[in-house]
Structure formats: C-alpha cells, structure tokens
Structure 1
C-alpha cells in the first residue's frame, strides 16, 4: 500500500494543476447539483419489528382518509385578546379552515369548533389536517402552504403556528456561522503550529474542498435513500475535523523532510507513502466504527452513520491527492508569509519529548494517577438520563417551541405526545361502542398517568379500533414511557393491542439500543483491533489500543451527564429553559439525551480516538525498529508526535465547540461530548496513560506468534524508505 500511495503522491505533485482543477470541478459540480435539485431529507424513525411500528402499519389501513401515507399537520390557533368563540374571531378561523381545505393533498380538516378542539380557557384551539398522496419528504413545504392558507385568522389578530411533527422535523438543518467560527479557530491553531500563513491555509483549503464535495454527494443521495435531517451537519462537523487533521499530519511530515534537505517532489512522495498510509488506516477505523451502526437495529441511526462516513472518505481522498498536489505546486513556498516569533523549533528533548522521558521513568505512578483522573471524569456518567427530546427544548423563537407551549397551556403537556392505541379485535363488530371496545377504553382510562382517552374509531373492516390517549406528562418526561408500558400490559381476552405514537416509538428505540449496544461495541472493537493487527503485526498492542479508545468515552458521557442530565450549565450551551423557569433554572436545568446519541457518539469517538492512536503508535514503532529499546521508543514517539497531535486535537475541539451554537439539541450534545472526549484523549490518554502502559508492557507490545506472523499479509501503516535500516531480527520479539 505504501508503494502505491508513494507513486500516487508523486504523480499528484507533478500534475498539481490537473489534480487541483479536478477537485475544484468535482466539488463545484456536486454541490451545485445538490443546490439546484434540492437536498431531500427524511425524519423517518421507523424501527421494523417493534410494537410502535406494528401500530403504525395497522393505522395506515382502513381508518378513513388521511391515515394512509402522506402525513398530518396540526395548526395551533391562539387569541391573546378575547376568546376564540367571539363572533369575528370564529368567522376568521372558519374562513381559514375553508381555505386550508383547498390546499393540494388535504383530504380532511377538523375545525377547532368541535368537541375537544378548543381548550378550556377558550383562547387556544387546534386545527387538525390530514393529508393523502403527499410526499412525506416534502411535509415541511406542505406545512408552509397550509400555514399560509390560515392568513385570514392572522388578519383577525390571531396567532397561528404549526405544532411539533408538522414543521421543521423533516427540514434539513442548515449550516451557519459555526462552520466559520470553527475554521477561523482552526486557522489560528495552524498559524501557531507552523508559523507561516501559507502552510496554515493548505489544511483549511483541502478540508473545505473535502466538506463541500461530501455535502454535495450527501445531498444527491437524498434522492436514493432516506437521508436524516442531521446528516449534513454531522458530516460537516466530522469532515472539517478529520479533513484538517489529516492534512496537518501530512504537512508536518513534508516540512520536516524539506528541512532535512530532501527535494520537494521526493519529499511529497515519501510523505504520502508514510503519513498517507497512516491517514488511510485512521480514516478506515472511523469508517468501520460508523458503519458498525448498522447492527444497532435502528435504520435512521444506521443511515446517519454511513452517510457521515461519506465525509470521512472525502477527507481521506483529498488528503492523499489534493494535499500532495498543493505541496508540489507550492514547493519551498510552503514556508512563505512567515509570522514572526511563531513556529520556532524547540530544543530537542523539551516539551512532549521531555514528558515522554518523565513518564517512562515512573510508569506505575502515572498509570495510577491517570486512572484516578479518568475515573473522576467518567463518574457523572452514572447519572446519564436518556429519553426523547420534545419541542419544549427547541429554540425559544421557533414555531415548534411556541406551538408546544400553547398546546401545554391549553390541553396539557401530554397533548404534545399522544399515544395511538390500535387494537385488533377477536371478531368483526358493527360499531365503536361494542362492549369489548368499551371494556378496552375503560382499561386504558384506568391506567395511571392517562389524562384523556378519546372515543374509539372503528376501521372499515370492523376488526380493528384506534384510540388516542393523552398522557398526563410531556413526551420528554420519563413517566410517559411508564404509561406506554402500562398500556401495553393491558390484557383483554381476544384483543391484540399495539401502542404507537412518538413517545412509544422512542421507548422502542431505547429498548432496541440497549439490546444492540453490546453487539455494536463488540463489532467496532474487534474490527478495529483486527485493522491494527494488520498494521502493526502485534496482537497485544492491537487489543490494548482498541480497548484504550473506550476510555475517552467515559469522559465524554460524564461531560454529557454533567451538562445535560444533571443540568450544570445547560443554559450556558444555548439550551432554552421553559418559559416558566426561574432565573437559575434558565442556566441549570436537566435535559434528556436521545437514546441513540450514546451509540452514535461511541462510533464517532472510537474512530477519532483511533486516529491519534495510529499516529502515535507508528512513531513509536519506527523508533523501536531503529534500536529495539521499548522505553526509549515510547519517549521518542511521544516527543515526535505530541505537538502535532495536540495541534490536531485543538483544531477538533475548536470545531466541535463551535457547533454547540447550533439550535438543534442533538447537535449540541454531540458538540459537548466530542469536544471533551478529544481534549481528554489527546492529553491524559495519549500523553500519560498510553505511554505508561506501553512502558510497563515492554517488549510484549511487539510480540507476535510466528504462526500468526506468517498468516498476516505484509501491510504497513507507514513506509520507512527515508528511515535508517531497521533493527536486527533479534530485536523484534516473536514467539512460537
């Protein structure tokens, strides 16, 4: 692989203009096509085989118009002065309802002036709209048209907003200033690291080309697969981080070779053959970790994982082609526009090299201290609270948040997450008031936590009934999940009962995640260890490295628990507290974390942690191959990579912190978790824990049974053409 990468890097350096032009054309073409055609997204959170999914499937057949595929919309009407039943206001609302009926795909509209349509305070009403034949990926566009049709009510001084599940749920999260902030912070770190503006701009440019290309591909994929609304922002977040980091590693090696007198083209070839191999392996671990989410049993999570992996593939490709092309074009001008007093070389043995020597002399004490610190950081994770996020945690100025608060005021918190009970009856009944249906309704009404049980609706076959249940609690309240489980526990002879709706679906998602999490973790760790084994031909080192990457997860989950579950600063990261909250509650209040976030966070973090592990281990291995002294190799490896890894980590932390400013709560949780984990990983783990364990393991790090050594293919993360000859065979530990 290293020979191929070396030839590829050399060719790109010689044909820099062609490579640069091809990448710019590809990026512009893909993004242009995505913008011109649109980037459809989906918020389909179906989980095959679950009770909620069975309820949903049954609901689609035989219950009248509007329950087939197409979606439904609710508009909340509010009068802050006077009552909705006032003559003028009622006339305006009814005019709006008549106009809504003329909107394409509308098959049924329930006016607020029906039983249960107006709140007890007579100032809040609900227009329920059912659609048929509408593309569910265009539900946001349809909602805008329906909201526009309600303008007569607004003209009468009424407020009309779309309820949660009707508006931005299927609308792609658009990019914003966070990318700019992240890029500027990354540029500052690179300027301090390299001391020249030209060198600092190379990773920024390649990362931007990579991200634009990846987003263009993802946008067009929306016409082939269901792309989650968070895919674009997740791809941007991860793509920027790894794209800049990979280019940084290559550029650092190239500048060192130039300083030693190697010609430009030869330096580029050696750089791509060596560090390029590490980039490919590091990117491969990220992709493996993200792809393993397919074992989670949650299609939305699986798709989000592999689509985010598109940005990683793009980052790897630009690193091994566009970066060498730019290095070839710039030549020695890579050091142009030098910033005074920055980028100066430190004395040999200082900084990270000195830390490596210090750790190597006292490994047991360093190991114990590292474990204690990491344990303290991870301890809050025991308080991690998982649960569905409802619109009550959206940005305060959003329509969905406003509708949520109006629904809560008028109809109770449970109205934002009704349960849909679909029951299959033992035989055909003629009406919805049949004794067996009445008994079922009474059983549901007797469940603790049910605020209202609507009248049963019979399907056309007379074999199924649908009953809407309003809980006492908000969708994000853990007690709502208990209501779901209690309703599902109801037993009426001959009746098969299924519970659907958003809350029920999230309960099923949480159960599925808990069931599949060990499998996903096992697959990721096993495949990553196998990849490391192929790269380093050292089983102890591969297993230890794979397991070590799990450690940073504890710190990430601890940070999430502190900020969101315990609420120590949730307001400081931009989460808006309920309107009724006190001053302190606007800063400190508990926020649930979606059940699939920890698993997604695990996959992303494991892959990113492996990046730093690969670069550190390759440097240690190079040193060990030279002289066979394990302790010295660890110190030298840490000294040669510490500054680069720290710079790379600072860049990632800056990018992830910038994304905390996004209004979407899920993006905020990822920003906090990723930033903390990367910071801990690049300092405590790579600076102390990994070197200490490697020193203690000694020559066992590099042990490999002879039979396994013969079976493994001859791969290498980094080529060593520019290095001195390897150590004699006796210095490499093998055993039969």
Structure 2
C-alpha cells in the first residue's frame, strides 16, 4: 500500500535527518558546480518533421551549404543619420568593416551593402550579410556579438551598426532577472503570515531552492547529450519554485497540526508523509502527466520542453517526501521557534473557526443558486477567449532599445515590414539546369510565378545549387512576420504548380505557420490524453469515478478563465502596456494605439499553457478532495464533509495559491514575451481555481451529487489497486473502519 511505503520513508528520513539533508545539499552543490565547470549547452530544435518548411530546409542545407541554414546567416544593419552610405568616407569605413568580418573564423561569405537589394532607396540604411559555416549554432548570440564587434570601423565613422541574426524568437536566449528573488521574497512573506514563525516559514523556501538547484543542474548537464531548449531553465524555475514551496507547505501544515494535537515528533512526521505525502505524489503525478502529453503535439520543441520541465516537478515531489521530513525530524518542536507577533493562525484545532468552513456550509445550503451564479461568472471570465489572437511573435515586440528591436525597426523602415520575415522558396528540379545568364526558362517561369502571388512585394535573383538540381528564390512579403496575412502568402506560394519543379517554402514565417497547423491538428489529442490520464490518476487516488471525471472537467473551466485573461491583456491589448510590452513600430500612430495594442500569441503557447495549467490546477483539487473524503469516511454526511474539508484546507491552500500567484506575477517582469504570457495565464488560472472554483463550484456540485460523489461499483473497486490517499486509518483516530468505509461508497 502506498501510504505504508510513504509512512516508512517519512519515518526513516526523520530518524536519519542529517544524512538526508547532507545528501540533498551535496547533490545541489555538486550539480551546480558541474554546470559551472562544464557549461549548460542549449539548442532549440525547431525542426518539424514531415512539413513543407522542413523539406525546404533540408533542400537548402543539402543543396546550398550550411551558410544558407537558419542560424547560418547574420546581418549587420547599418544606419547613417547624417548622410548616405554611398559617401566616400562612409563607404571606406563599411569596406574596412567587411574586410575585418571576413577574417573571422567560420565566415565563408560577406556581402557588402553596395549590391542589389543591399541598400535602401534612402541610401541611409544598408545590410552587411554574413554567411557562416562550421560554427556552433548553440552559441548564436556569442557569434553574432563577435561579428558586431568586427564592425567597429563603421561606428567610428558615425554609422549605427546593429546585429540581426536569423534565429526565430524561440531561439532568443531568456536572460535571468530579479523575478526569482521577488518570487521567493513574496513567498516568504505569505509563509510568515500563514505559520507565524520564521523557522517554519523557511522550511518550504529552503526545500524549494534545493529542489530547483538539483533540477537545474540535471537539466543543464542533459544539454550535453540532448537538445535542451533555452526556455527550459526558466520554465523549470517558474514551475519548480511554485510547486516546490506548495508541496512542502502542505506537509508542514499537517505536521504542525499533529504536533499541536500532542503526537510525538517522529510519529507526526510518519503520519504526515503517509497522508499529505500521498496527496503530494498524486498531485505531482498529474503535473507530470500533463507535461508528458506534450510529446503528442508533433512539435519537437514542445516535446522536449515538456519532459525537461517535468524534471523540476519530479525533484519537487522527491524533496517534499524526503528532505521535508528530514528537516522536521531534526527540528522537532523547534519548528515553531522564532514566533512573530500578530501573524500566524490564532488557533490550532483541527477544525478551527474558518471562513472557508462557513462558506462551505453556506454553499451547501443553496447549491443550485451558487452553481448558476458561478457558471455565469466563469462564463463572463472565459468569454474574451473567443478573441484570442494566435500568430507569430516577431522582434517588433521586443523591448525598445534592444538590438533585436532596433534591427527590426531599421529593416522595416528601409526595406518594408516583410523584409524581417523573408520566404525562402526552394524548387527541386526534375532535371539539372545550367547556371546561365539569362537564367534557364524553367527558373525564369518559377521566379515570375512567385512574384505574381498576392502579397509578395519583391523577389530576389534565383540561385542554383552546384548540381543544378535545386533553385533558391528569396521572396519578400508585404507583411510583417507577425501579420496573419504573411502566413496566407506562404500558403499561396505553396499552391504553385509548375511541371518539372517541386516547390517548397521555408523560412521563419513558413516554419511558424507549419508549427501552428501541426499543433492545431494535435491539440484535441493532447487535451484528450491529459484529461483521461488525469481522471484515471484521480480514480486511483480516491476510488470514485464521478469525482475523478468531475475534477478533470472543473480544471477545464479554470482554463477558460485563464485564456480569457490572455485575450484581454494581449489580444485586445487592455493590459499589454501594464505587463511591460512595448508597442511595435506600427502601433505608434496615436495615443490610443500606443496605450492599447494587441500582441499575437504564438500558436504553440495555448497547448503548452493548457498542459501546465491543468497539472497545477489539479494540485489543489487533490488536496481538497483528500480532506473532504477523509471527513466523509468519518461520519458519512456529504454536505458536512464538504464544509469540513473546505475549512480544514482553506488556510493552507489559500496560502499555497497566494505563493503560486506571487511567483508567476513576479515572472511577468521578464523581458521575454513568452514568459509574460505564461506569467499572466498561470497567475489568473491559479487565482480563479483557488477562489471561485474551490470556494463555490466544487462545494456546490459536491452538495448536489451527494453520496454519488464517492460511489464506486464493486467490480471497479476490486480492479483498482490499493493506492487511495484518503483511506488510511492511521492518519485520523476517528477514521471509519474498513467495513463502514466500503458501505459508504458501495451504493450511490
């Protein structure tokens, strides 16, 4: 039985606290040191197998060399404010910079601005295009910086030089900031108010920090053997910090309650890990299941990001059921030391007077009215989700003043908005074609057909590979990469049918378009798997099919509110400025547009956000239902059990939710738009789940269902292994005997 195993583990850790503590600290220090010495390689695998963009990329790589790979091209954008770049002094400075860049390692070709398509009509904006070969693509930022430094001669001549690499927004490195510190400080303040003692408040903080250190160390070292996305560390920190503190908080709260009831220290630890530890294991399991389901999204970046982020959850669970009991065993009754005045719980009784318990009784007395009102409120919160704008997020939404944003603005000004997202049209030829002037008629016709597509502003001169079996044409759309119409141009070019040519379209816009299409196809599968597996896990935890299905559906409701908030803030632009987003160049026409501007949300974000949110929201459901079921098995009164369960978990779950919300809100300060989207979505979903869902919707539905909540057919009860987290008599002295418990759940 799982509770027996956890009880034994908790008791052992409490008796051998020093050894357990030393092992975890050594693991954290050792792994951190290893990542410092060996580095933490990252590489976003943005390939999408069996898509047109991937076929174009493969043809480009095999036929034209690595210099034409995404990431193999870097551009230095030049801007001369005082005069044209063609003036002799400026031209000499540009040529000197070109010569310096050409001498750098891995540079195979450098094109100066004085070529067709290399300089704007104003003659003040130009491009130095650098093609690389044999470089480390995982160190794109460092390579770009070296190229930029080599362009110093133009800066001495009064010319602005801004680097712009060809990586996608997903490739941009997310730099660390103060958000982790802010999140930890906010969590500490909540814990101080929840427990009233400094020692107790520090236990969840210390546990979470050790968990994150170990998790990030493992993730960093994994980068040497697998492709680890750049977002993995920040996602692991965000999720790991939240769940790590929460899981330790739940165990600590139960332990202090048992100590207050006079239970000896080691016995209290054993009971705590057997009861609340089991709930932690199941709650963590739901998060990992949800993240693992991203493997079905058909997008390698999401698949890898999902299971690697799950590593932080694994260590959060492991530290909760081992490191927390070790600390509790070492501290004994000193867990309540350093008490702070005027904060902390006023009473320690198991069912102390609680506003949540009163709310539970009030809701249980009028379930239909509460249910109707809650549905209306949640519907209103979710309604804006219909306006959710999915698209691609380009560098036009980067922070003002950053090189990426400045380069984007200069290129859009000089060459048009579509220049920031060129389409790479690759035609596979049925027969070899000679590279002649004028070009082969087949190549000329293909160039003309591409130029005739609506939305194509410019078509560059075709380039043949050495074998003459493939032709590459760069097409500049009229629209910015984040504009939905750019994706329509991609689809239109792909409809070109020309005998003797197999047309494929690659590039950033094409890749993001294919990613969005693939994820749209797979989203129903991901949602279905997450819901079914989570419901199955809840069935194992509570042996109640109705509760398991209802809990999974409830989580979908809170997700609707989260997506509604995202639509309000980003798609409708009512809070884009508040979360630190800067308006793109096109949004500067009026005061209203600058204050309220829409921001597209990358197509892969909703499905990933769904997986993360579904798992996190299930945490509170598990802890609440555990308490309600234990109360029900004591006396068999469903409505009373709902009120008691809500009252006994109200303070701890509210504290846990406040911590989680504080952590996620703190991460909104990150400059990366993806992190901002996750911060807003996660914070809103947890807030809604911990208040409206837990305080009104769950009690109302459980009151209406009555004994059906815990009904389980006898044949199903015999099939389910004995893993329930709520049916352990050792946790509560007045627990119903096994015969009475089976009677309570056998009939609806």
Q: Hey, what does 2:730 align to over in structure 1?
A: 721
Q: Hey, what does 2:475 align to over in structure 1?
A: 469
Relative to structure 1, the CA distance from residue 529 to residue 169 in structure 2 (aligned partners, 3 Å threshold; closer, same or farther) is: closer
SS in 2 for 1:176: coil
Distance 1:331 1:216 in 2: 31
Q: Which moved more, 1:659-668 or 1:331-340?
A: 331-340
Q: Hey, what does 1:375 align to over in structure 2?
A: 379
Q: Hey, what does 1:635 align to over in structure 2?
A: 643
Counterpart check, 1:363 vs 2:363: no
For structure 2, list consecutive stretches of 5 or more residues without a partner in the other structure: none
Distance 2:653 2:647 in 1: 10
Distance 1:722 1:508 in 2: 53
The count of aligned residue pairs is 736
How does 1:657-696 map onto structure 2 within 5 Å?
657-696=665-704
Q: Which moved more, 1:151-160 or 1:181-190?
A: 151-160
SS in 1 for 2:448: helix
Counterpart check, 1:436 vs 2:442: yes
How does 1:104-143 map onto structure 2 within 5 Å?
104-143=105-144
Q: Hey, what does 1:732 align to over in structure 2?
A: 744
Q: Hey, what does 1:243 align to over in structure 2?
A: 244
Distance 2:414 2:600 in 1: 24
Counterpart check, 1:350 vs 2:350: no
Tell me how far 1:66 sits from its aligned partner: 1.9
Distance 1:595 1:166 in 2: 18
SS in 2 for 1:188: helix
Distance 1:547 1:98 in 2: 63
SS in 2 for 1:661: coil
| 1:377-401 Cα distance to aligned partner (Å, 9 max, x none) | 0000000000110001111121111
Q: 1:452 aligns with which of 455, 458, 461?
A: 458
Tell me how far 1:154 sits from its aligned partner: 1.4
How does 1:254-273 map onto structure 2 within 5 Å?
254-273=255-274
Distance 1:133 1:70 in 2: 11
- TM-score, length of structure 1 as denominator length: 0.98
Distance 2:435 2:72 in 1: 26
Answer yes or no: is the 8 Å Cα contact 2:385–2:567 preserved in 1.
yes
For structure 1, list consecutive stretches of 5 or more residues without a partner in the other structure: none
Q: Hey, what does 2:539 align to over in structure 1?
A: 533
Distance 1:695 1:487 in 2: 58
Q: Hey, what does 2:38 align to over in structure 1?
A: 37
How does 1:422-433 map onto structure 2 within 5 Å?
422-431=426-435, 433=439
Tell me how far 1:158 sits from its aligned partner: 1.4
Distance 1:710 1:698 in 2: 23
Distance 1:690 1:522 in 2: 22
Q: Hey, what does 1:612 align to over in structure 2?
A: 620
Distance 2:652 2:81 in 1: 59
Relative to structure 1, the CA distance from residue 730 to residue 428 in structure 2 (aligned partners, 3 Å threshold; closer, same or farther) is: closer
Answer yes or no: is the 8 Å Cα contact 1:106–1:129 preserved in 2.
yes
Counterpart check, 1:479 vs 2:488: no
Counterpart check, 1:590 vs 2:590: no
Tell me how far 1:260 sits from its aligned partner: 0.2
How does 1:78-89 map onto structure 2 within 5 Å?
78-89=79-90
Distance 1:162 1:2 in 2: 58
SS in 1 for 2:578: helix
Q: Hey, what does 1:511 align to over in structure 2?
A: 517
Q: Which moved more, 1:406-415 or 1:426-435?
A: 426-435
| 1:345-387 Cα distance to aligned partner (Å, 9 max, x none) | 3584431010110111011111111100000000000000001
| 1:105-147 Cα distance to aligned partner (Å, 9 max, x none) | 1111111111111111111111111111112112222111111
Relative to structure 1, the CA distance from residue 513 to residue 65 in structure 2 (aligned partners, 3 Å threshold; closer, same or farther) is: closer
SS in 1 for 2:472: strand
Distance 2:278 2:735 in 1: 19
Query: What is the aligned-residue RMSD (CA, Å)?
Result: 1.6
Relative to structure 1, the CA distance from residue 9 to residue 686 in structure 2 (aligned partners, 3 Å threshold; closer, same or farther) is: same
Distance 1:108 1:476 in 2: 30
Q: Which moved more, 1:252-261 or 1:189-198?
A: 189-198
How does 1:178-257 map onto structure 2 within 5 Å?
178-257=179-258
Tell me how far 1:573 sits from its aligned partner: 0.3
Distance 1:603 1:652 in 2: 17
Distance 2:169 2:290 in 1: 29
Distance 2:516 2:172 in 1: 24
Q: Hey, what does 2:288 align to over in structure 1?
A: 287
SS in 1 for 2:109: strand
Distance 1:431 1:605 in 2: 55
Relative to structure 1, the CA distance from residue 70 to residue 175 in structure 2 (aligned partners, 3 Å threshold; closer, same or farther) is: closer
Tell me how far 1:544 sits from its aligned partner: 1.0
- TM-score, length of structure 2 as denominator length: 0.96
SS in 2 for 1:572: coil
Answer yes or no: is the 8 Å Cα contact 1:173–1:232 preserved in 2.
no
Q: Hey, what does 1:500 align to over in structure 2?
A: 506
Relative to structure 1, the CA distance from residue 68 to residue 174 in structure 2 (aligned partners, 3 Å threshold; closer, same or farther) is: closer
Answer yes or no: is the 8 Å Cα contact 1:388–1:593 preserved in 2.
yes
| 1:249-291 Cα distance to aligned partner (Å, 9 max, x none) | 0000001000000011111111111101110110010000000
SS in 2 for 1:573: coil
